[in-house]
Amino acid sequence: MTQGFSREGLKVAETQLVGQVAEGLAPGAVGLLDRGGETEVFTAGAMALGGPPMRRDSLFRVASMTKPVTAAAVMMLVEDGILALEEPVDRLLPELAQRQVLRRPDGPLEDTVPARRPITVEDLLTFRVGLGLLFAPSATPILQAVAELGIVGFGPPNPRMPFGPDEWLRRLSTLPLMSQPGEAWRYTTGSDVQGVLVARASGQPLDDFLRERIFEPLGMKDTGFHVPADKRDRLVTA
């Protein structure tokens, strides 16, 4: 037997959210509590500094929460028998076959050794692909090369990137790996590669696959990579 919320408990939760907004944690927020089939939603503050009041249906950027959504898409294709966790990505991502690996992540780009094994689908999911954030000075040769190539996946996203996923992967493939496949965890880049993999394995753009297989079945009618013009008044400040 499950129980819903007490009025006192809801008041405490709402008071905490309102108090944190008042202290400057954020211009505004939406709180949602769900228990025993009962759902309660409350809002606090504004959609932007000096902006309109926060709404129940305000739209928020989910940022890095895109990563588990993309990973779920990969696992759906594994369930469909289109991908296998242990298979090399070479079949669908030939750009990443026969990689060279830096002897040291901060070393010169020409100081490399061959990869000991191929990159697998599981490597992409576990962020052990050999590429990712490198917490080092920007003078590191590989980070300089990333900047010169204008590619994302090593820091904040850039929606204005002037080329698509295939060209992104081609540029990425000109770089050596920072570490051997499967040997080191490096944040974020694995998700970008997963996105290309899902598109090629499914035969449709990533956003179409996510919408048809995940968002629409779950009723996530406002989730996507872009906000339509008729919904932009609901988008909160970053």
Give per-residue pLDDT as tens, 192-221.
999 999 999 999 999 999 999 999 999 999
What is the C-alpha to C-alpha distance for residues 71 and 13, in angstroms, rounded to an integer?
32
Bridge partner residues of 164 (DSSP): none
pLDDT in tens, 123-155: 999 999 999 998 876 679 999 999 999 998 888
| Residue 35 and residue 88 in one domain | no
Answer yes or no: do 23 and 72 share one domain. Answer: no
Q: Which two tokens stand for residue 77?
A: 């294709």
Residue-number span of the structural domain to which 118 is assigned: 64-214
**Per-residue model confidence (pLDDT) at position 4:** 64
Q: Annotated catalytic residue: which of 6, 58, 64, 138?
A: 64
- What single-letter DSSP state applies at residue 2? -
Query: Looking at 2-11, 73-82, 106-115, 208-217, which range is the least confident one?
Result: 2-11
What is d(CA 100, CA 120) in angstroms, rounded to the nearest whole number?
Answer: 15
Identify whether 70 is part of a domain. Answer: yes
How many domains does the chain fold into? 2
- Quick one: CA torsion of 52, 53, 54, 58, rounded to 10 degrees? -40
Can you spell out the DSSP letters for 119-150? -BHHHHHTT-SS-S---S-TTSHHHHHHHHHT
| pLDDT of 186 strictly over 70 | yes
- Annotated active-site residue 64? The verdict is yes
Say yes or no: 124 and 151 in one domain. Answer: yes
- Identify whether residues 182 and 74 lie together within a single domain: yes
Residues 68 and 137 in one domain: yes
DSSP H stretches of helix in 80-220: 121-125, 141-149, 165-172, 189-202, 206-210
Provide the pLDDT confidence category of residue 26 given band limits of 50, 70 and 90.
very high
| 126 and 16 assigned to the same domain | no
The CATH number covering residue 145 comes to 3.40.710.10
Looking at residues 27-35, what average pLDDT do you find? 91
Could you tell me if 79 and 40 lie in one domain? no
17 HSE (CA, 13 A, CB side): 18
β-bridge partners, 114: 100
Please give the structure tokens belonging to residue 117.
């094994």
Q: Strands 112-114, 100-102: parallel, antiparallel or unpaired by DSSP?
A: antiparallel
Residues 84 and 141 in one domain: yes
State whether 180 and 196 are in the same domain. yes
pTM: 0.89
- Residue 106 covered by a domain: yes
